[in-house]
Amino acid sequence: MTTLIAWRNLRHDPIRFAATVVGIVFAVVLISMQTGMLIGFIRASAGLVENAGADVWVAARGTSNVDQSGILRQPAFYRARAVPGVAEVSRTIIQFTGWRKPAGGTESVIIVGFDPQTGFAAPWNLVEGSVEALAAPNAVMIDRLYAEKLGVTAVGDRVEIAERRAVVVGFTQGVRTFTQSPYVFTSYANALRYTNIEDGDASYMLVKAAPGVEPATLAADLGAVLGKEEVLTTQAFAARTRDYWILTTGAGSALVLGAALGGLVGIIIVAQTLYAATVERLAEYATLSAIGAGSGYLNAIVLKQAMIAGTIGFVIAGTIAWAMAASSTSSPAAILLSPLALALIGVLTLAMCAVSSMLAVRKLYRIDPTSVFR
C-alpha cells in the first residue's frame, strides 16, 4: 500500500518528478564516468608491468613507476643470472624519447626495448604483424589508439625516433599508457639506437623464477646479491606504479572528488524535491496519522518515493554510462565499467536517495494528527 501511495505522490506533480529523475541521472552519470575513468587509469598505469610475463623486476633504487626508470649497469645482469632459482633474466629498456611524424611534427613516446629470445615485455593484444618481426633492424610497433596521434596509417610507414629511421611493422589494440605518451615496442638492440643507454645496460632486468620457486623468495635472494639495485615482485611493482600515478600525482584524488561532487548534487536535488512534496501534503499525512498510521508507515511512503525515483534514474543513467563506456574503447582514455562496478553504483544511488529522504522524514515527526480536525 505504501508503494502505491508513494507512486501516486510522485505522479501527482510530473514536472517535479521529472526534475528529480533528471537530477539523479546527472549525478549518477557523473559518478559513473569518474569511476570508470579511475578504473581505466588504474589498469593503464600498470598494464606494462602486469603483461610483461616476468615474476620479478630489478630496478634502479628509488624507481617510483615503470615509465620513469634509472640505468642498470651490465655487471648486475651477470650477478642476477648466477642467483639460484633464476630461470631467465632479460634486459629491458623503457625510456622517453622523441617521435617525428612522417608529415612533420613531434610527439613524446616511450620506447620499450625487449629481448626477443625471452619475450619479456613484448607487445600484447597484437592485431597486425608479429613479435618476431620486431627483431628486424629499425622495426617498431605501436597501438592503433595512438596511430593518428603519431601520424601513422599502415604497416610499412616510416618515421624517425630520436633522429633515427624506424619502420612500423605491426599494431596492437588497447595497450594504453597513463601518461598518454604511447608505448613504442621494439627489440633491445633497436632500442639502444633510439635511447642514450649503452649496450649491456638496461632500464630494468626482468626475471623468471625457476619451477617451484616463489617470486617473493626469489626477489629476496636477488635483493641480497644486488645490494645497490631494488628488487620487486611483479605484483609489488605494479602496485607501486599504480600508487604513484593515481595517488602521488593527484589524478586519483581529482576523479574521486568529482564522483563525490556528483553524489552531493544528487543528494541535494532529491532531498529538496522530497521535502517540498512532503510539505505540500502535510495535511494528507496528518489525516493518515489521525486514522492510526504510525510514523513508520509514513516514513516508508517518503522512503519509497526516493527509491522509486532513484531506481528510474539509475536505469536511465546506467544505460547512458554503459553506452559512453562502450564508445571509449577506441579512445586512448578508456572508461571501464564492469557489471560489478555498475551494480555497486546502483547500490550507491539508492543509498544516496535514502539519505536524501531523511530530511523529509524529519518533517513528518512534527506532524500533529489533531490538526486535521481544526
Say which amino acid occupies 323. A
pLDDT digits (tens, 9 = 90+) for 167-208: 999 999 999 998 889 999 999 999 999 998 999 999 999 999
Mean pLDDT, the chain, whole residue set: 85
Is it the case that residue 334 has pLDDT exceeding 50?
yes
- The stretch 69-89 carries a mean pLDDT of 94
Side-chain-side CA neighbours of 66 within 13 Å: the count stands at: 33
- The stretch 318-343 carries a mean pLDDT of 85
Residue 2: alpha-carbon gap to chain centroid? 41
Q: Tell me, what's the pLDDT at 373?
A: 44
User: What pLDDT band is residue 366 in, cutting at 50, 70 and 90?
Assistant: low
Tell me the C-alpha distance between 94 and 71, whole Å: 10
Q: Tell me, what's the pLDDT at 371?
A: 47
pLDDT digits (tens, 9 = 90+) for 238-284: 999 999 988 887 777 777 777 777 777 777 777 777 666 666 655 56
Is it the case that residue 372 has pLDDT exceeding 50?
no
Q: At what angle do helices 74-81 and 215-225 cross, to 10 degrees?
A: 130
306 grid coordinates: 526516493
Q: Name the CA dihedral angle for 249, 252, 255, 260, rounded to a multiple of 10 degrees.
A: -120
Is it the case that residue 4 has pLDDT exceeding 90?
no
Percent of the chain residues past pLDDT 70, beyond the cut: 87
User: What pLDDT band is residue 119 in, cutting at 50, 70 and 90?
Assistant: very high
> Checking DSSP bridges between strand 126-128 and strand 158-161, what pairing results, if any?
unpaired
Is it the case that residue 363 has pLDDT exceeding 60?
no
- pTM for the complete prediction? 0.82
CB 207 within 8 A of CB 54: yes
